[in-house]
Amino acid sequence: MANIDTDYLNSLVTRFKAYKRPNDTQRLIIALGELQERSDDDNKKLSILIRAEKKADELAKARAATSRIMNAEKTAARKLETRKKVIWGAALKTAAKNDAQIAQMMRKLYNEGYVSDKDKDAVRDDYEAIQASHTN
């Protein structure tokens, strides 16, 4: 006689009954799981189906874990790239206070489309300060 994990079977039956269109395997699990008296052959089939569902659940969990790892890596890379941009931007801004050539380059970046129109408001005060400090 096949060994059936009845708690897991009950959870599968409940889950699959909630599906709008369960597939053939899921319908068979529902049908066999709801039988009050199952034959040895029914239990063997059900045991195989349950093992397959457990493996499918493990696969889904492994894929989700892999996805979380990949997303964490991508997020870390994006954060590093953002940090680099902030550091370089701060260095340019600091250097522009003392170096007219760098100030000129920053004015060029601002005026020639390297700073988007929607972002110009955010840096306008800095731009004006650079303008004022080097137009003496």
- What whole-number distance in Å separates Cα of residue 132 and Cα of residue 126? 10
Q: Does the structure show a pLDDT above 90 at 128?
A: no
Q: What digits encode the pLDDT tens for the residues 64-91?
A: 999 999 999 999 999 999 999 999 999 9
- Tens-place pLDDT, residues 80-123: 999 999 999 999 999 998 898 999 999 999 999 899 999 989 98
d(CA 80, CA 58): 33
Task: Please tell me the pTM assigned to this model.
Answer: 0.59
- Three-class secondary structure of residue 68 per DSSP: helix
pLDDT higher than 60, residue 1: no
Q: CA 131, 105, 125: angle at the middle one, nearest 5?
A: 35
